[in-house]
Chain A
């Protein structure tokens, strides 16, 4: 529990951070809330020579509305997302997701940017980010680019961020009327991370017909995924319990579930199906 030696920097702007990142390249690690990186360093599973702390880069801490988009700075803490009135009204899914991350201490320190870039296969945000079809803005000394949620998560602990790139902003669309959302989670009892987490965005018209369905599932596979087969089975259907149940049966279709000490692949897939149905029912009730 004692990390190896490292040199520590505390820039106050994105520009400064990028310069440091350019200079030290892969010997450097960005530090956000530190709630994934520091445990790894303490176990010496990560031994960066240089640590660039983003804690004073205030320009990355915000939640604001811009047209029909919500913009969230990468350094926004989980607690800020959980308690944001704007998000609770305009994007309750993200606030609900943040509210079940770890415990109060973790939520006080952890950041959405850190969580997304860390890309833990059992992290909570990725499910919601996928279901919301969010986009991530990353910058480097070369410029900036937007990455769609689906292209963002590449594999376990791997995103499409390139060396030298910094995640600065997450953009989520304001949801249309008659939309219900839900995030449900089965926690791994030791770590509190998701054995299975299902995020649902469901838009239903006056006649009860599903106009839009997006389902993101985390914890089950090496990376969070969109449950396309479920979405297909819902879209254009008049929703009732049997339709959502039948659709949920496809929640683990085409994926290769994780298997570890805490759950077999079979059980994870089963949880995905059960909790997908429960999440859909909850979202439907909230429309």
Chain B
């Protein structure tokens, strides 16, 4: 059937309400008799909790209740971690600290008052007596002898040791002609979603139901966890993710406050609202990255990479959040990137530190892998005197080698890596740029060209690979008027699936885009689902929608055949929203006619149920593996260290494209966040564990004026893993761009003998490197 919508630059149906300020975020929700919670947070990174005096706060105007960790420890279960690793140390993670605090910002007590001003005022009246302990902030130090121990019961700060091997790494290094090694730091960064977290909870004693509105990416998973934490039956908890103002992985979690506010609503019999301040968001919403790695490559003089060895220390933070330990395992899985590198060894040591937990942040482990590997490819090229593009070309698997097995045990679904790189080189005018670079160097100008070729792992993922199911669900419900309601178990929060899912459905059913409404994010309305993360919503959730719509079509066709008096369903065609018998096209039924007939149910084929709706749970057989090539061109001001972009070219292959505009948007956003990490961002804690970059005045995220013109292009290699052929693109930019930018800067500085600089590449750091060169 001709596609009217799929593949087109259809404007987002979400935009109208977002741009005109008519969408409803958590803080827009107001319930009758609602009260406000404010949280007292630890001011020490590591301390014993002595006395907490709440008397003055209890007596303060408007205050309804104050609770400490001791008050709720029996009533609320610990904050959960879903990931399993062998010998993983899982400390008890109470929603309010008990006995000890382990990071600045850890919740210590909660105040509930009639309004948010009174709640905030009362926070200052709570006297917490701490006995400060020595803090450990640096993960390397944390796992060294004699470091202060966060969780005494373990006697160590090593949270886990995880290893991954493929091939024969010892042999690779024995056979290596050259060994290139580099220590690299992937600094801790802060996700900074525009909307901070927030929770409203309301208990309905009549029904025994707790409703929780929260800014989350995973309403159903959260419901299951909240029910367990609060001792409620799962079908008595309703979680609603209203409009979510960005997540980037930081809301792919179960947070202490979500259970705490739910508990308060039940305990106090009044709806409770808690909205995170920006400072709280910096202190106590998960951070991303935080890896220190020693990387070694065994290579041949022609640039062939024989093997890679990674020794990674993952900064865990004080406790695990939902997926904390899983993130660096994604780094390991993707450690050979888009190359044919048969031998691999990865070791990851997780280190508890007196800081907020790290967890999934856009890319979640893959940006770290791509960064290290792409820096290594450039290091190798320089060491061997080869062109960095050439070194990459030499190590790519060829298109006929797919599905391509990796040393890390994955099977890449489909790809044409040389084509993507060639396209990017062509677009940027690589040969010419290299010549220009030579000329400029003669004039004392520092032009740098940075290449990054990447493959990432998306459509997460087959259920066996996930702690909580990796499928996704959809219901396609045709209403009696022929309007179509789609209930998706995915929980998009800015990615635009209300548009792309409608495109899929509208094309399949021959209806208009505005006839389709996509609903998600409410566990009382939508069947169980997994959520939106890991660039999965389209590849897994979209496929579920596609599967459900096929069932609907199939039923509608059977009904149409019946109504048209045709015995053989195969003789009935469905085109442009109309059913007809192939050799008698003059009599037609519209899709609406059939929908209505299904509900009026006056004449149905024998055995057919009335109504027209179907659900589909799609279990993918594999991940998908998008790939591409990004090239950054920068000029470094040698006098100040400033980095100026000249060009930025991105060629991404995310399989079939449902909406090019959405894909461009995702690529743009991803590149911008990568640029932030490459050049600006870093969560800086001092040695006492105080977060120095605790506000937007001190933590620099990119502004529009920091972003160059982004030249995006695509190749399209369909995925065989799902019938749509889609792969996912939500994180590609973040994964690809960081090394492209850093490679460009280091390339610019190459004549000075500079081989590596750790991010963020702030002007002063570059200036010092130049001076030291």
Contact = CB atoms under 8 A, between A and B. Distances in A.
A34 to B, nearest CB: 16
A274 B639 contact: yes
Interface centre among B117, B639, B693, B699 (most CB of A within 10 A): B639
A123 to B, nearest CB: 13
Main secondary structure, interface of B, reads loop
Give the contact-size bracket for chain A: 20 to 34
Contact of B117 (A2, A189, A263, A274): A2
Contacts of A5: 117, 121
A45 to B, nearest CB: 11
B647 interface: no
B163 interface: no
B698 A190 contact: yes
B697 interface: yes
Main secondary structure, interface of A, reads loop
Contacts of B768: 267
B703 to A, nearest CB: 8
A261 B767 CA distance: 16
B693 A189 contact: no
Nearest to B760: A189
A189 B640 contact: no
A191 interface: yes
B282 to A, nearest CB: 12
Interface string A188-201: 11111000000000
A2 B120 CA distance: 7
Contacts of B767: 267, 270
A191 B640 contact: no
A85 to B, nearest CB: 26
A1 B278 contact: yes
Contacts of B706: 189
B227 interface: no
Contacts of A267: 763-764, 767-768
Contacts, number: 46
Given A186-B640, A274-B639, A4 B121 contact: yes
Interface string B737-773: 0000000000000000000000000111001100000
Nearest to A42: B277
A267 B116 CA distance: 43
A189 B680 contact: yes
A264 B640 CA distance: 13
A66 to B, nearest CB: 37
B56 interface: no
A191 B703 CA distance: 11
A1 B120 CA distance: 9
B764 A261 contact: no
A130 B763 CA distance: 28
B697 A191 contact: yes
A271 interface: yes
B116 A2 contact: yes
Interface centre among B279, B640, B699, B703 (most CB of A within 10 A): B640
A198 B121 CA distance: 42
Contact of A261 (B278, B279, B693): B693
B139 to A, nearest CB: 20
Nearest to B771: A270
B124 to A, nearest CB: 8
B518 interface: no
Nearest to A188: B700
Interface in A29-44: 43-44
Nearest to B702: A189
Contacts of A261: 684, 692-693, 698
A190 B279 contact: no
Interface of B: 116-117, 120-121, 124, 277-279, 639-640, 680, 684, 692-693, 696-701, 703, 706, 762-764, 767-768
5 contacts: A2-B116, A5-B121, A190-B680, A261-B684, A267-B763
